[in-house]
Amino acid sequence: MVRSKAFQKNIFLLLVLAALVIMAGAGYLLMDSKMHNPKLFRFVLSLRLPTLAVMLTAAFAIGAASIIFQSVINNRIVTPCLLGMNSMYTLVHTTVVFFAGSGSLLVTNSNLSFAVDLLIMAVTATFIYGYLFRKTNHNVLYVLLIGTVLSSFFGSIQSTLVRIMDPNEYDSLLVSLVADFNNVNAEVIGFAVVLLGGLAFFLRKDLALLDVITLGKDQAINLGVDYDRTIRRLLLGVVLCIAVATAMVGPVSFLGLIIANLARQSLNTYRHGLLIVGSALMGMLAIIAGQLVMEHVFSFAVPISTFITIGGGIYFLYLLLFKKGGN
């Protein structure tokens, strides 16, 4: 009976979050939308609807990836951005532009560029991080340390390429390197949604094992789980989710850390299906609310990524210092 009441409470909370996301989304679409002028209203909606779709898709990808990644590592203070996955994507994208040129089909065709970036990152990240986790035996301190080094390493290579890149090509590259929901890559929305849906279907059996994975490697193996294979597949899913989000809106550091931990604290459950949905909804609410504040309070003067980075950094220190390593 206690478990049933807790489950019902979590479902109620998720419904409340969903309602808040719907209201925030409606507010974003309709606020100052010139509804008295039908033509202008349709024009405003044509700009805001793709942006809203991108924000929702990116929030879902980041929220799901963060919960899965924390469960794989079995620590709440670790998110993909802390291991340099955002930096890896910017390096991959910069490398493609550097060698192919900003005028090549690999860059000008958004869907093709998106697919190439995803493929390169999926292969590279799965190899690097899979090897890293095996060698460190999932020790979170080693993982964080090496992740910090990798993030700096990827960033240094990317900075070097930018410095020797043709200035005109750098101008075309710059818009994709900063998180900005006013300049989203709306052309890949369809591709991204299909990819995320296909990924969820492909990993459905592995996602169902997350509750068991968090018990630890030995316990999972004793329960009949092919642990290494499951971890590899889940890691691939995390990499692709982060790549999808970064490709659409640019790198958003610390957002996953905030929403994943808020979901865990609010829902207080080990059911990963609920946690993933809760994290995604909190991400959607945070991004839409932040975009509203940025547009109507700061008049676009400050990018939303600034607020997320500052808030996320403070929250990370709080988890690290006062939550006993986030466990």
Residue 301: its pLDDT value, please? 53
Residue 1: its pLDDT value, please? 45
Q: Where are the domains of the chain?
A: 57-326
151 has pLDDT over 70: yes
Give the global pTM.
0.84
Instruction: Give the pLDDT band (50/70/90) at residue 140.
Output: low
* Domain 57-326, CATH class in plain words: mainly alpha
185 has pLDDT over 70: no
- For residue 256, give the 3-state DSSP assignment: helix
Instruction: Give the pLDDT band (50/70/90) at residue 163.
Output: confident
Q: How far is CA 42 from the centre of its chain?
A: 30
Distance CA 83, CA 237 (A): 15
What per-residue string of b and e applies to 259-290 under the rule 16 or more CB within 10 Å gives b? Answer: bbbbbbebbebeebebbbbbbbbbbbbbbbbb
81 has pLDDT over 50: yes
Mean pLDDT check: name the lowest of 50-59, 65-74, 86-95.
86-95
Distance CA 188, CA 172 (A): 17
> What number is the average pLDDT over the span 117-140?
77
